[in-house]
Amino acid sequence: MKKFFVIALALLSGCALHETFNTGRFEIIEDDTFIYHVPAQPVEMKDEDTRMQWLTEHLALNEMCEQGFVILKRQPTAIRQTLAGKRYRIAYYGRCKD
């Protein structure tokens, strides 16, 4: 039984580590516009806030949008079916505020 808990803990730790580094792909289109592609799963309600936090971190790393940003378009695309439901990739098209 102890072995089961050790394995379960290791698997959960791996999921948490994966989530930490799975922050999507950030593309600068022009000086003040960008596209942010990030994975998502609809059953995880906290994801939208988390994705916006990741986007804010990408913008800061690229020294963009010091006055904030506006999302112009949010485009989810189904990428595969899993036991937990469909997995999505969301593309956020945005620009920096003036």
Q: How far apart are CA 43 and CA 28, in angstroms?
A: 29
- Beta carbons of 7 and 14 less than 8 angstroms apart: no
Q: How far apart are CA 96 and CA 93, in angstroms?
A: 11
- Beta carbons of 94 and 51 less than 8 angstroms apart: no
The answer for residues whose C-beta is within 8 angstroms of residue 20's C-beta and 6 or more apart is: none
Domain map (residue ranges) of the chain: 24-96
Q: How much is the pTM? A: 0.69
* Torsional class of 27: left (φ above 0), alpha (ψ -120 to 50), beta (otherwise): beta
Each residue's pLDDT tens digit, 12-39: 444 443 444 457 899 999 989 999 999 8
| CATH architecture label of 24-96 | 2-Layer Sandwich (3.30)
Each residue's pLDDT tens digit, 46-83: 578 888 999 999 999 999 999 999 999 999 988 888 78
